[in-house]
Amino acid sequence: MKKKIGFGSSCVHGPEEYRTTRPHQLPIYATSSFVFESIEEGMEVFTGQRQGHLYSRFGNPTIDAVAEKIARLESHGMDIDAFGYLTSSGMSAIATLALGLLRPGDAILTQGNLYGGTAELFSKVLEPLNIGLVLARLGDKRAVARVLAEHPSVRMLYFETPANPTLECIDIAGLCELGRQAGCHVVADNTFATPYLQQPLKFGTDFVVHSTTKYLNGHGNSTAGAIIGKSQALMQEAIFPKLKLLGTNCNPWDAWLVNNGLKTLEVRMERHCRNARQVAEWLESRPEVERVNYPGLVSHPSHTLAKRQMRDFGGMLSFELKGGLEAGKQFMNHIKFCSLAPTMGDVDTLILHPASMSHLNVPREIRLDNGITDGLVRLSVGIESVEDIIGDLEQALRIEKS
């Protein structure tokens, strides 16, 4: 039959898939839909009687393979199963999870020193849907227990550890116990630490979210997010319908790029950690610096906790210059080797000013109350030669001082 069709039809149809051996690299399935061999097969796949792909918004072999890989990393070494979905961004992962688990009248309990985009999502998108927002110092478990007792509507306990950008660490196991007692879903944003350094599921969280745009990809060339959960029923019955109907799914190309980044995650994180520790120690010795926020420093309030629940201390730090906002602006304007960019987790070193960038729309009183001052500088330490990173910081400090 193929030989008898017209020229135009031959242009449109085929070619057949001629794969004879397994590819060494994950293929990119750049297809929006999938073909059934019969109407019966289609009916069985649509009704869930048979496993199969329908439409890439519902799932795709490339996307599903990478989601499963991240789930395996988050549950590595544990006697549990974990299940994952990839989304279009870290923000869409958080939004999809919240809309899947919460109903009008419910509330989220979280910290004040939260990534600015997440804080805005909770206050500007979810609150108008009658999903409340309650803030507490999550490092104080007595205060958390009191807030949970005062707000029985709280159905989600959401936190970052280490937090962005103060690097405060949260006692994951302690919060999970409080969350269980209150009947809450406990969710950890593990973007800063990655599953190589920290596995929140091990300490009892129900879900983990990631902006895979950051360390999991690591090369600044992909935007995606991930939702990882322990309950297959919740993932399939509560989360997947929202992902499918809101269209927050990932795409095959970004999923493939994330998978490429994951191949070097362990070796990258080891170098990120080593460089960040050296940079933090150097910054702490500088007279121009008021304080350095890095869990690997003994001076950091979260140092002991971080040692207990993390493999190492990560590649993120922040610091306050004694000259405040003006000193910070002058310092960043004279950076040459590092990059001034509103992201983190790439292989190259990135500098950001939270008050005017990532946390611009967080109310100033909330920022200041949580240590996110106007002069705070956030540094995502890359994997370059550490002497080049320190050399750039030193020359910018010299100019700022003069």
Q: Give me 366's structure tokens.
A: 């909330």
Q: Give yes or no for a contact between 261 and 285, defined as CB atoms under 8 angstroms apart.
A: no
Q: Give yes or no for a contact between 295 and 159, defined as CB atoms under 8 angstroms apart.
A: no
Alpha helices in 112-152 (DSSP H): 116-120, 141-150
Q: Which of 189, 254, 312, 346 is catalytic?
A: 189
* 398 assigned to active site: no
Q: Give me 303's structure tokens.
A: 């140092």
Supply the DSSP symbol for 383: S
Q: Give yes or no for a contact between 160 and 115, defined as CB atoms under 8 angstroms apart.
A: yes
Determine the Cα–Cα distance for residues 195 and 270; give it in Å rounded to an integer: 13
* 57 assigned to active site: yes
Q: Which residues fall within 8 angstroms of residue 296, CB to CB, at 6 or more apart? A: 273, 276, 277, 280, 303, 306, 312, 313, 314
Residue 305, amino acid: L
Residue 242, amino acid: K
The size of the chain, in residues, is: 402
Residue among 61, 101, 263, 122 nearest 186 (CA): 101
The 3-state DSSP composition of the chain as helix, strand, coil percent (nearest 5) reads 45, 15, 45
Q: Which of 214, 230, 329, 367 is catalytic?
A: 214
Determine the Cα–Cα distance for residues 66 and 84; give it in Å rounded to an integer: 9
Question: DSSP characters for 191-241?
Answer: TTTHHHH--GGGGT-SEEEEETTTTTT-SS----EEEEES-HHHIIIIIHH
Q: Which of 57, 202, 291, 322 is catalytic?
A: 57
* 214 assigned to active site: yes
Q: Which of 69, 85, 106, 115 is catalytic?
A: 115
Residue among 376, 370, 358, 282 nearest 320 (CA): 376
Residues tagged active-site: 57, 115, 189, 214
